[in-house]
Amino acid sequence: MPSQPILVLGTFVVVYALFSAKFEKSIITPPMIFAGFGMIACPQVLGFLNVSITDEWIHLLTETTLILVLFIDASRIKLRALRTDLGIPLRLLALGMPFTIALGGGVAAIVFADWGIWEAFLLAAILAPTDAALGQAVVSHPAVPLRIRQTLNVESGLNDGLALPLVVLFAGLGMAAAGNGHGDEPWLTFTARQLVIAPVVGIGLGLVGGGLIHWGRERHAMNEIFQRLSEVALALIIFQYAEWAGGNGFGAVFLAGATFGNVYRKDSKHLELFVESTTQILVLVSFVLYGALMVWPAIELVKPMAWLYGALALTAIRMVPAYLSLAGSGLQPGTKLFVGWFGPRGLASVLFGLLVLVEYELPHQQEIFAVVSITVLMSIILHGVTALPLAQSYGKRMTGTHEMAEVDEHPLRRVH
C-alpha cells in the first residue's frame, strides 16, 4: 500500500478515536463519518486521499475484509439456539429474503428495462444482505427488546452468506445470456462448479482446521494470541484452497465459519475478541474507500430512475416482504414495520458489487455497481440518522408486550 494513503487513513482513525465516545451518543454513526471523510478526501474534492479503484492493494484489502466478515459472522451464529428460538430470524431469512430478491428483481426489470433479466435479479441479490452496524443504536440500545435486537443481529450475520450463492448464480446466468464464457469453459459450467466445490472445501477444511486448533487448545500447546491468529489464518487458507479447487472462495469461507463456530464453540470465543479490533478497522477503512472511490462516480453515472430504485430497495422492496414474512408471528404491526425499516444496506452489498465489477463481464456491470453505491449511500444516511430516535421511541412502546420474550443472545459485529 502506498505510504500517503496509510498516513491519511491512520491519522483519521486516531482523530476519530479521540471523540468516538461523544459520537456514540449522537445520531452520527461511524459509517457516516468514515464514508463522508472518503467523499471529501477523494481526488475529485480535496485530494488528500490519492487512490484509484484499479490499485491492487484496494482489491486485496476489500477481498480480505469480505473473507473475515463472512467467516466471523458465520462463526458467531449459534445454530442450536436458532433451532430453539426459531421464529422471527428464520422467517426473515427463509421467507423474507427470497421474497425481497424476487420483488427487487422484478422491480429492477421494470425500472431498468434495457438490462437483461439476470442483471436485474443480480442487483436485487447484491442489495439483499442487511448490515446491522449501519443502525448500531437499534441492535445495542437497551430500550429495544432483546428479541428484536437479536432478530436484526442474526439476520444481518447470516444473510450475506446466504445471498452470495445467488449473486454468483445470477452473475453467471447474466454472462451466459450475454454469450460470454470463462476462458474455454461456459459460464454456467463455471458457476455450477464454483457452487458445488465451495461447500465441500468449506465444511471439510472447517472441520479439519478447527479440529487441529481444538487439539492444540485442549493440550495447552497454543497460547490465546496465536489461537486467534490461527483462526484468522484458517479463513484465509480456506479461501485460497477453494479458489484453487475451482470453487467460490467466499462461499467456502462462510460455510467454514459456520462449521467452526458451531462444532468448536469454545474455541470460537477467542475469534470474537479478534473481531472487536483488527476486523473493525478493516471495515471502517472499507467505508472510507467506498466514499472516496465509489460515491462520486456513481452519482455522475446514474439517472433519476436509479435513485428511485434505491429508495424502493430501502422501503417497499425490503419492508413488504419483511412484514409479510412475519405474519402469524404474534408481533405487533409496529414491530413488523420497525424490523422492516431497519434492514440497512452496507458493507456486504459494496463488497459484492466490487466482486461483480472485478470478476464478471456483464453488459451493464458499471450501472449495477453505481445503483448499489447510491443505495448504500442513502442507507448510511437514512438508517444512521433514524436509528437512535426510533430505537428510543419504539422501546418505550414495547414495555410489557410479547416482544419482550427472552431469547438466547448471539454476539454481534459492532462498529463503535
Evaluate whether 313 touches 376 at the Cβ level (below 8 Å): no
Which sign does the torsion angle of CA 115, 381, 323, 133 carry? positive
69 in a structural domain: yes
Helix (H) or strand (E) holding 56: helix 56-76
What tens-digit pLDDT sequence spans the chain (416 residues)? 556 778 888 888 888 888 888 887 778 888 899 999 999 998 888 888 888 877 888 888 888 888 888 888 788 777 666 655 557 888 999 899 999 999 999 999 999 999 999 999 999 999 999 988 787 778 777 888 888 888 888 888 788 888 988 998 899 888 888 776 655 566 667 677 777 888 898 899 989 988 888 788 778 888 777 777 888 888 899 999 988 888 888 888 988 988 887 776 565 555 555 555 667 788 888 899 999 989 999 998 888 999 999 999 999 999 999 999 998 888 889 999 999 999 999 888 988 888 888 778 889 989 999 999 999 999 999 999 998 899 888 888 876 665 555 655 555 555 44
CA-to-CA distance for 92 and 158, rounded, in angstroms?
A: 11
Q: Return phi, psi of residue 382, to 5°.
A: -70, -45
Residue 412 in any domain: the answer is no
- Judge whether 157 lies within some domain: yes
Q: Buried b vs exposed e over 357-385: b needs ≥16 C-beta within 10 Å?
A: beebebbbbebbbbbbbbbbbbbbbbbbe
Within-domain flag for 414: no
Query: How far apart are the C-alpha atoms of 176 and 168, rounded to whole Å?
Result: 12
What's the CA gap between 133 and 29, in Å, rounded?
9
Q: 3-state class of 99 per DSSP?
A: helix
How many CA atoms within 13 Å lie on the side-chain side of 79? 12
C-alpha cell at 9: 487513513
Q: Which helix (H) or strand (E) holds 181?
A: strand 181-182
Residue 95's alpha-carbon distances to 21, 102, 131, 216, in angstroms, are: 38, 11, 18, 41
- CATH number, domain at 378? 1.20.1530.20
Q: Is residue 126 part of a domain?
A: yes
**Within a domain: 100:** yes
Q: Is residue 336 part of a domain?
A: yes
- Cell matching residue 140: 445495542
Domain span at 229: 3-404
Q: What total of structural domains would you count in the chain? A: 1
Cβ neighbours of 59 (radius 10 Å):
14
- Residue 345 CB-density burial (10 A; 0-12 exposed, 13-18 middle, 19+ buried): buried
Q: d(Cα 297, Cα 293) in Å, to the nearest integer?
A: 7
- With respect to residue 331, please indicate whether it lies within any of the assigned structural domains: yes
114 CB burial (10 A radius; 0-12, 13-18, 19+): exposed
3-state secondary structure of 343: coil
Give kind and range of the element (H or E) at residue 182.
strand 181-182
Query: Which residue bears the cell 454472462?
Result: 175
Q: Which residues contact 307 (CB under 8 A, 6 or more apart)?
A: 374, 378
**DSSP annotation of 135:** G
